[in-house]
Amino acid sequence: MREMERRLYARYRLLYTLCIGRVEAGDWASSVANWLVFQGRYGVAPGEDLAGGARRQFEEAVAQADPWLREHQPAVEWWGGQFAPASIPAGHLLVKTITTAFAEATFVSLGKVGAPARVEGMTYGANMRLLVNEGHTPTVLFGPGDVRCSHRPDEFVPLSDLLAATQTLALATVRFCGGVS
């Protein structure tokens, strides 16, 4: 793994995980299952070829995972939500504009030295892939709160984080678009 990836994904033990979220097997609870279907998510690294290399590697790994599977090749189907990886260089003007605006906005909202923005990779799927890969539009994911608190029953965002994010986006937009700040 490259040094930059180690730094950008520092808080994650596993970067590109395989998560099996659904398993279904057999026709009767008290019989040995004669079929198995499992569905999940297969993480792909930025820069990795999703359609060719990553899928092919996964299919080969499944087919070779067990001696029985080598003789009885499983079918792997790719369907549903497929999130290709996306990234822009950490030194891109958009990244610099947002990180600078964040430091200044947190200085204003907190009344003390501005907080440094955390620039890191994320291991979840996002629509950023469409803007970067299809639209060729530099994009970053930025928002308030801790992403680990989202998409759950007790989801929340501290109001101070919401204020800092709102101020950051307003300042970054004016600066990035060439306005006066």
Domain boundaries, the chain: 3-71, 93-176
- Percentage of the residues of the chain whose pLDDT score is greater than 70: 91
pLDDT for 30: 93
Q: How far is the CA of 81 from the CAs of 61, 107, 130, 148, in angstroms?
A: 21, 39, 13, 20
Band of the pLDDT at 11, cuts 50, 70, 90?
Answer: confident
pLDDT in tens, 28-60: 999 999 999 989 888 888 888 877 788 888 888
What whole-number distance in Å separates Cα of residue 76 and Cα of residue 95?
A: 38
Cα 124–Cα 139–Cα 107 angle in degrees, nearest 5: 95
Mean residue pLDDT across the chain: 85
Region for residue 140 given its phi and psi (left: phi exceeds 0; alpha: psi -120 to 50; beta: otherwise): beta
| Averaged pLDDT, 68-79 | 87
114: number of Cβ within 10 Å: 17
Length of the chain as a residue count: 181
Those residues with Cβ within 8 angstroms of residue 66's Cβ, 6 or more apart along the chain or in another chain: none
